[in-house]
């Protein structure tokens, strides 16, 4: 495994790049303050743009570490920051390197295949450039749309984990977990 940090990535419709504090207004207005978008995430909706600025400032500082992977999802057409996608929890099990994938997308951009498009590019980066062997992901059992994204990526449903995540608004929630092996990603998505 060779950590590379949050490198700029592109897809047909998206740019994936590092966040900057000046993104705060777009992030706040597009999704971090939205009750519906944040319904199934661990953190509460941001009450004001200053909360978003603090989060982005901490992400900006973390970019100094090569094992930080936190991208802004930018719509190529509008240049709006429409979501975030990240790789985290890197660890080894035996000879295999694992990490977890997470994403969040503004409501106006739901149901257009954009989360899948961004995630597919990030998975290619993780498997082919960083050298990850296995990527996992999880979603609140009530968030079926997130599960559909994982299925479209070729991920396999692994198991239900009871009380998997402690959320700020709803307490402990159960999550469905998914897994994708490097060899399955290459077979299904790159050929």
Query: Domain limits of the chain?
Result: 9-190
Task: Read off the pLDDT band of 53 (50, 70, 90).
Answer: very high
8 Å CB contact between 18 and 60: yes
Q: Which of 1, 16, 7, 9 is closest to 103 using CA atoms?
A: 16
For domain 9-190, say whether CATH 3.40.630.30 is its number. yes
Cite the DSSP H helix spans in 132-186: 144-152, 182-185
pLDDT of the residue at 186: 63
Better-predicted residue by pLDDT, 18 or 167: 18
Average pLDDT, the chain: 94
Q: Which of 142, 55, 71, 66 is closest to 104 using CA atoms?
A: 71
8 Å CB contact between 81 and 117: no
pLDDT tens for 69-108 read 999 999 999 999 999 999 999 999 999 999 999 999 999 9
């Amino acid at each position: 495994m060779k950590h590379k940090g949050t490198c700029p990535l592109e897809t047909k419709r998206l740019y994936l790049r590092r966040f900057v504090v000046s993104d705060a207004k777009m992030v706040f207005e597009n999704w971090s303050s939205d009750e519906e978008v944040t319904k199934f995430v661990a953190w509460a909706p941001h009450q004001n743009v200053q909360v978003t600025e603090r989060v982005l400032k901490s992400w900006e500082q973390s970019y100094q570490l090569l094992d930080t992977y936190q991208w802004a999802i930018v719509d190529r057409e509008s240049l709006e920051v429409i979501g975030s996608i990240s790789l985290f929890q890197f660890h080894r099990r035996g000879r295999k390197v694992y990490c977890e994938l997470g994403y969040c997308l503004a409501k106006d951009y739901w149901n257009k295949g954009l989360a899948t498009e961004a995630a597919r590019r990030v998975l290619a980066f993780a498997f082919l450039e960083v050298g990850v062997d296995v990527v996992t992901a999880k979603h609140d059992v009530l968030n079926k749309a997130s599960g559909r994204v994982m299925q479209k990526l070729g991920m396999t449903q692994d198991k239900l984990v009871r009380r998997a995540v402690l959320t700020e608004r709803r307490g402990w929630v159960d999550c469905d977990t998914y897994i994708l092996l490097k060899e399955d990603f290459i077979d299904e998505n790159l050929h």
